[in-house]
Amino acid sequence: MNRNQKIVLAFANTAAFLVTILVNYLASTLPLNQKTTGEISALYDNLFVPAGFTFSIWGIIYLLLAGYVVYQLVDAFRIQESNTGKGFTEKISFWFIASSLANCLWLFAWHYEVLWLALLIMLLLLGTLIVIYIRLKQPTDTASAIEPYLVHLPFTVYAGWISVATIATLVRCLSASTG
């Protein structure tokens, strides 16, 4: 992949991340369908719902992802003409953009209380993060000492949380359908 293509991917990743942050912000401040994400969650209370404070992990996840976005932008502009290998940006950009889209779509399905659609979208989000995780486990030609922290860690934490959130969404769907 040439440098210009890598720069385009880096900007596409950045745009996807910024849209995700904006949609998440608006979902809580507008809020979508006149309810916050937490208010929807409270409507479907069950024994598996994590305590409210655990949702603060989103701040950590978005901070880690912001680190990734900045790092991949810097990496795209780094001049390394001799390196022709496939780095992390090329390996995961499509999947990162897909995960960002799934994150946004989930908010709409959740806020409009289409729980089974929210579950399907959550499974899609989890799937994209698993693909990213697997692709990042493959060695790259451009790995640096900081890459584990700014590339691998954000997606490991994100995938871990979405694994829990997927189970929570499934339980909510089941409890909502059984009354």
Mean pLDDT over 17-27 rounds to 97
What Cα–Cα distance (Å) separates residue 169 from each residue in 82, 90, 106, 122, 143?
47, 31, 11, 8, 36
Q: Tell me the mean pLDDT in the region 144-157.
A: 94
Prediction pTM value: 0.91
Q: Are 6 and 90 in contact (CB under 8 A)?
A: yes
For the chain, what are the domain ranges? 3-178
Average pLDDT rounded to a whole number, residues 76-92: 75
CA distance 164 to 109: 18
pLDDT band at 55 (very low <50, low <70, confident <90, very high): confident
Does position 84 have pLDDT exceeding 60, yes or no? no
* CB distance 144 to 25 below 8 Å: no
**Average of pLDDT values for 164-171?**
93
pLDDT for residue 178? 76
- The per-residue DSSP string of 33-94 comes to GG--HHHHHHHT--TTSPPGGGGGHHHHHHHHHHHHHHHHHHHHHS--TT--S--HHHHHHH
Alpha carbon 138 to its chain centroid, in Å, reads 20
Give residues with Cβ within 8 angstroms of 65, minimum separation 6: 17, 154, 158
Q: Please state which of the ranges 45-59, 61-75, 76-90, 140-154 shows the lowest mean pLDDT.
A: 76-90
Predicted confidence at residue 120, as pLDDT, reads: 99
CA atoms within 13 A on the CB side of 138: 14
Q: What is the predicted pLDDT for the residue at 65?
A: 99
Residue 96 to residues 10, 51, 82, 175, 178, Cα–Cα distance (Å):
11, 28, 26, 31, 35
pLDDT digits (tens, 9 = 90+) for 98-128: 999 999 999 999 999 999 999 999 999 999 9
What values do phi and psi take at 20, rounded to 5? -60, -45
